[in-house]
Amino acid sequence: MQDYDLVIRGGTVATASDAFRADIAVTGGRIVALGERLGRGAREIVAEGRLILPGGIDSHCHIEEPPVGEVENADSFETATASAAAGGTTTVISFVQQAKGSGITAGLRDYQRKAARALVDYSFHLVVTDASEAVLAELPPLIAEGHRSLKIFMTYPNLVLDDDHILRVLALARQTGALVTVHAENHAAIMYLTRALEAAGLTRPRHHAWAKPMAVEREACHRIIMLAELLDVPIQIFHVSGAEAAEEIRRAQQRGLRVFGETCPQYLMLTADDLDRPGFEGAKFLCSPAPRTPEDQVALWDHLRLGTLGIVSSDHAPNRFDDRHGKKVRGEDAPFSAIPNGVPGLATRLPVLFSEGVGKGRIDLATFVALTATNPARLFGLAPRKGTIAIGADADLAIWDPGRKVTIRNAMLHHGVDYTVYEGLEVTGWPVTTLSRGVVVSDEDRVTGRPGHGRFLARGPYEAIRPRNRHVTPFDAVEGRLSGAAPAGAGAKG
């Protein structure tokens, strides 16, 4: 007679606060007991000498998005989530795109059909590319259905929102209870610099970083923080690339604003020099914002420790390299502005951060768990079901061999992309077995999960997006909630 479906025995359980030796018992896909010498499981996994971490939550991945012109997203939900599982990640949040000028719902329904092939659990951010009356009317039922985060872009020709439309989205988020996530770069400045550089013949991949210097990111961070402050709504700024942008976020946090920051391994590992590799190689490393300097990397580690940046996601952008539907869509002599942006990273996010962060003493293990699982679960409304190891939580677990040395090769990553920016990098520490709701989905680099196992995670209203009204804003007057006090910064009584 077995007491549990599964018992994982003798490992060191690590959470965002503690690490302790315990057996983990799982029944019905959930953790039902943590303790010493637990009873028998129908299946047992011996985890002596291993760390057991909450499965990673990757809250920023581009998966199976519709083609943009001739550029095709190289990952299906099947390949992307196989890659996630192999890298210790058990939940992904990807993007439903609104084609500018049309609605969101039809695209969402189509995307849900594709996501049904996922090997691990998933949720979506809704990308708003124009805040027309029709789109704003479409959103509240979709948010109520469980899509509690919106994504807006402050740059890219087909995606950019101006400040007026940004304010409309922020107001809707405040009224409906959704988190707005932001790609923050100054569009006009980028377009101007791009035209000027290309007219001067400065068109190689390295010039991408010249067209997108830190100042354009810093300004956009400052502006989106101001816009969110006017309405007193929380925001998350995606892929912070260096010191100046992080400092904007830190200042906002010190002023009591709910501004959350994310960075990605590429900004901790790459610099603008990588864009200058010989031939067209630099295109592999081309992403937005652009990789910066070694000093920026040091600053980002500082801000991870300080908590300014609370999440490390992959920003997995699966553009193949040697492919006319990927980085080479316009050939190797194309100007940098024609090269698809982004780097793949679903499988490598955790091992690279573990090795470079925990292994090299830059962050401790609890911070690693917080950055990769617990914080994204809390910020995106997946806690307490996801992101920690606790009784009642889903048994989403990554069993790590903390001493295993692995040289990263693209062939071991299970994604649909033909390269990794970490080819040849030796890491110490590797997720050897990954479980999603108690089911082994990856074991010793073999993906064992099956398409369709992954479930959609609907997100209800949650703590991080609860209206707070700490600051009296002009919007309180609009909503008829001002009782004599003038809005913050407005001077005289209203």
Regarding 181 and contact with ligand URP (CB under 6 A), the answer is: no
Task: Identify the burial level of 1 via C-beta atoms within 10 angstroms of its C-beta, where 0-12 means exposed, 13-18 middle and 19 or more buried.
Answer: exposed
Task: Identify the burial level of 118 via C-beta atoms within 10 angstroms of its C-beta, where 0-12 means exposed, 13-18 middle and 19 or more buried.
Answer: buried
> Comparing C-alpha atoms, which of 261, 253, 260 is closest to residue 234?
260
Query: Which x/- pattern, by CB under 5 A, does the window 7-36 give for Zn ion?
Result: ------------------------------
Q: How many residues in the shown chain lie near ligand URP by CB under 6 A?
A: 9
Quick one: 117 or 239, whose CB is closer to ligand URP? Answer: 239
Regarding 166 and contact with ligand URP (CB under 6 A), the answer is: no
Q: How far is the CB of 95 from Zn ion (least distance, A)?
A: 7
* Preceding peptide of 384 cis, ω within 30°: yes
Q: How far is the CB of 266 from Zn ion (least distance, A)?
A: 11
Of 274, 315, 401, 476, which lies in the binding site for Zn ion, with binding defined by CB under 5 A? 315
Report residue 474 CA to chain centroid gap: 32
Regarding 72 and contact with ligand URP (CB under 6 A), the answer is: no
Q: How far is the CB of 217 from ligand URP (least distance, A)?
A: 12
Query: Which x/- pattern, by CB under 6 A, does the window 331-370 give for ligand URP?
Result: ----------xx----------------------------
Range in contact with Zn ion (rule: CB under 5 A) among 79-87, 175-183, 251-259, 270-278: 175-183
Binding partner at 287 among ligand URP, Zn ion, none, C-beta below 5 to 8 Å by kind: ligand URP
Q: How far is the CB of 383 from ligand URP (least distance, A)?
A: 24
Q: How far is the CB of 53 from ligand URP (least distance, A)?
A: 26
Which token pair is 437?
A: 């709701």
Q: Which residues pair with 287 in a beta bridge?
A: none
Q: How far is the CB of 238 from Zn ion (least distance, A)?
A: 5
Of 148, 174, 183, 328, which lies in the binding site for ligand URP, with binding defined by CB under 6 A? 183
Quick one: 291 or 449, whose CB is closer to ligand URP? Answer: 291
Which token pair is 428?
A: 């110490």
Q: How far is the CB of 96 from ligand URP (least distance, A)?
A: 14
Quick one: 327 or 414, whose CB is closer to ligand URP? Answer: 327
230: region left, alpha or beta (phi > 0 left; psi from -120 to 50 alpha): alpha
Query: Which x/- pattern, by CB under 6 A, does the window 223-252 give for ligand URP?
Result: ----------------x-------------
Of 58, 72, 244, 315, which lies in the binding site for ligand URP, with binding defined by CB under 6 A? 315
CB closest to ligand URP, residue no: 342
Regarding 317 and contact with ligand URP (CB under 6 A), the answer is: yes
Per CB under 6 A, contacts with ligand URP among 277-306 are: 287-288
Of 30, 147, 183, 208, which lies in the binding site for Zn ion, with binding defined by CB under 5 A? 183
Q: Are 73 and 111 in contact (CB under 8 A)?
A: no
439-443 and 426-436: which strand pairing? antiparallel
State the CB neighbour count (10 A cutoff) for residue 280.
18
Quick one: 271 or 319, whose CB is closer to Zn ion? Answer: 319
Quick one: 56 or 429, whose CB is closer to Zn ion? Answer: 56
Quick one: 241 or 253, whose CB is closer to Zn ion? Answer: 241
Binding partner at 313 among Zn ion, ligand URP, none, C-beta below 5 to 8 Å by kind: none
Q: How far is the CB of 238 from ligand URP (least distance, A)?
A: 6
Of 62, 165, 208, 292, which lies in the binding site for ligand URP, with binding defined by CB under 6 A? 62
Report residue 455 CA to chain centroid gap: 18
Chain residues binding ligand URP by CB under 6 A are 62, 183, 239, 287-288, 315, 317, 341-342
Chain residues binding Zn ion by CB under 5 A are 183, 315
